[in-house]
Amino acid sequence: MSNVVIVGVQWGDEGKGKFVDLLAQEIDYVVRFQGGNNAGHTVIVDGKKAALHLVPSGILHEGKICLIGNGVVLDPVVFVEELDTLIGQGVDVSPNRLKISSKTHLIMPYHKVLDKARENKLEKGQKIGTTGRGIGPCYEDKVGRVGVRASDLADPDLLKAKIAAALKEKNVLFTALYGIDALAVDAVFDEVMAVAPRIIPHLTDVSSELEQAWNEGKSVLFEGAQGIHLDIDHGTYPFVTSSNTVSGNAAAGSGVGPNKLDRIIGILKAYTTRVGEGPFPTELNDATGELLRTSGGEFGVTTGRPRRCGWQDIPVLRESARLNGLTDVALTKLDVLSYMDEIPICARYELNGQETDAFPFPAVLPDAKPVMTAMPGWKCDISGVRKWEDLPEAARNYV
């Protein structure tokens, strides 16, 4: 099989893990290229159920090599916890099949403190609703050229100097602005050094690993996290995550040329969900939304938060197709809608008295009105259907 990128085309939680899992049978390498443990994938292989946040979903398939690229932000403590869970389940997580780029930035204890302190301080309406995992502050330090990289774990003096420099600034924020305790350099250093010996053996040059893989005729799957409308540039800014979630970042975030990305598969749910704050024009804030949430089991894997639920938004999907260069799409959770007589979808938007096919820019989104149409439902259980022809006509029309 050729090389494949998997991305979510809504606001995350589209079921990406399931497709990585399905395709993992046919590929040799699985690479994560952005995000961190803000992601959450539940995968079940051979009766083993695992909630993965950082380790690529391919790890549960014997013989697959899993790589964490330079574009990821890695919490070393969480990584080691995930390793231990997997080891407890009898999964092979040895350094020859689970590798981390030396260039990957580390989420430090102070990033997590800052993420939560900031969110607490923001007024309602301004809160982002982050996962509190330190993702944003870690990417800030990376772009600000003061971040800690995985390779620094092997140089304790450099690591300590970086922590001291970071805390010089961050402790001022903690005490003077947020009214919380300062962190001690030694405590942070000790916490990170305690897990360093578990991480160092996994460090490698991911870009060269991939080149070698291709020289041997192997195929690679790039596993995206979050969704396109959470992209730092293209999403509903500022209610977004702090990385580029678009398919193009699969190249930059793992150190390969864009010509290596053969197929781009966009994963979407049959309806829409979102966790955290931010615009969501087709959201249902009523009993209909509650029914959709319980029918679809829409509760977060990472934070346990109930997901906001609403109807399918075609302009959102149209924009995603353009931003990613989608070659394929995969639809999940169609069976969840089987109870419905009619299924509303947002076909386009009305803005200033005019209809548009485009998803409106965030600044004018509050003034835009979704133009809804309703598709007939199919009212029968389709969860066992395995072939397109066996789907009821109404379900095929909806797709």
Q: Which residues pair with 343 in a beta bridge?
A: 375
Q: Which of residues 190-219 bind Mg ion (CB under 5 A)?
A: none
Distance from CA of residue 321 to its chain's centroid?
18
Counting contacts by CB under 6 A, is residue 230 touching ligand IMO?
A: yes
Q: Nearest approach, Cβ of 351 to ligand IMO (angstroms)?
A: 24
Q: How far is the CB of 191 from ligand IMO (least distance, A)?
A: 21
Calpha distance 153→300 (Å, rounded): 32
One DSSP character per residue, 31-78 reads: EE-SB-TT--EEEEETTEEEEESSS-GGGGSTT-EEEE-TTBEE-HHH
Q: Which amino acid is at 311?
A: W
* Segment lying near Mg ion (by CB under 5 A), choices 7-15, 164-172, 213-221, 313-321: 7-15
Q: Does 8 bind ligand IMO (CB under 6 A)?
A: yes
- Taking the least distance from each CB to Mg ion, the nearer of 51 and 165 is 51
Which part of the chain contacts ligand IMO (CB under 6 A), choosing from 68-76, 207-215, 224-232, 347-355? 224-232
Residue 226 is a binding residue for ligand IMO (CB under 6 A): yes
Active-site positions read 13, 41
Indicate whether 310 belongs to the interface with ligand IMO (CB under 6 A).
Answer: no
User: Which residue in 39, 50, 267, 323 binds ligand IMO (CB under 6 A)?
Assistant: 39
Based on the shown chain and the rule CB under 6 A, indicate whether residue 38 belongs to the binding site for ligand IMO.
Answer: yes
Residue 349's closest CA among 339, 363, 360? 360
Residues 249-278 that bind ligand IMO (CB under 6 A): 275-276
Considering the complex, what minimum distance in angstroms separates the CB of residue 125 from ligand IMO? 14
Listed ranges 132-140, 150-158, 259-267, 320-328: which one lies at the site for ligand IMO (CB under 6 A): 132-140
State the binding partner of 128 from Mg ion, ligand IMO, none, CB within 5 to 8 A by kind: ligand IMO
Distance, in Å, from the CA atom of 223 to the CA atom of 7, rounded to the nearest integer, reads: 7
CA 273/CA 9 separation, integer angstroms = 11
Contact 207, 104 (CB under 8 A): no
Report how far residue 4's alpha carbon sits from residue 220's, in angstroms, rounded to the nearest whole number: 6
Residue 17 tokens, joined? 């893990």
**Least distance between ligand IMO and beta carbon 117 (Å):** 14
134 binds Mg ion (CB under 5 A): no
The reply on whether position 276 binds Mg ion by CB under 5 A is no
Beta strands in the chain (DSSP E): 4-8, 29-32, 41-45, 48-52, 65-68, 73-74, 98-101, 105-106, 203-204, 220-223, 263-269, 272-274, 308-310, 312-313, 328-332, 342-351, 354-356, 369-376
Q: Which is nearer to ligand IMO, 40 or 289 (CB)?
A: 40
- Give the residue, chosen from 101, 104, 130, 249, that forms a contact with ligand IMO under the rule CB under 6 A: 130
Whose CA is closest to 54, among 33, 27, 23?
33
- By CB under 6 A, residue 136 contacts ligand IMO: yes
* Identified binder of Mg ion from the candidate list 13, 21, 152, 319, rule CB under 5 A: 13
38 binds, among ligand IMO, Mg ion, none (CB under 5 to 8 A by kind): ligand IMO
d(CA 51, CA 378): 32
Give the number of other CB atoms < 10 A from CB of residue 22.
10
Which spans of this chain sit near ligand IMO (rule: CB under 6 A)? 8, 12-13, 38-40, 128-131, 133, 135-136, 225-227, 230, 241-242, 275-276
Which spans of this chain sit near Mg ion (rule: CB under 5 A)? 13, 40, 301
